[in-house]
Amino acid sequence: MSDLQKQIQVLIEGLVESGSENGVQAAVYRRGELVVDAVAGMADPETDRPVTSDTLFYSASTVKGVTATVVHVLVERGVFDYDTRVVEVWPEFGAHGKENATVARADAFGWGAGGAGGHDPGAVL
């Protein structure tokens, strides 16, 4: 077991033992190779079914951080900038009145994507 695997395993076991989480699964890939595969706790506390490497977890909004990171890297590389209208790189995004949305507004999730609603596209971030 690698040092990284041990560190992650201890961390997630601590989360379960503290009561912060019922069950946790962590996988880390580096250059396409699985380097950490750690699990702890229960997938279903009612049946005492443990978390395994194959346990599926529900997650919401987890892609937002990854998307934001990719956008910032692409801006840094000059692929587009924050003032670029999203429709210039993704024409279908312009549906339902979003044709003037900029990368900066979309990156801030301020255009009501996903039916979130309640956003004022003219508001200053």
Q: Could you give the 3-state DSSP secondary structure of residue 123?
A: coil
What is the spatial distance between Cα 101 and Cα 114, in angstroms, rounded to a whole number? 15
Annotated active-site residue in 2, 18, 20, 61: 61
* Catalytic site includes residue 18: no
- For 45, list phi and psi in degrees, rounded to 5: -60, -25
Contacts of 90 (CB under 8 A, 6+ apart): none
What residues act catalytically?
61
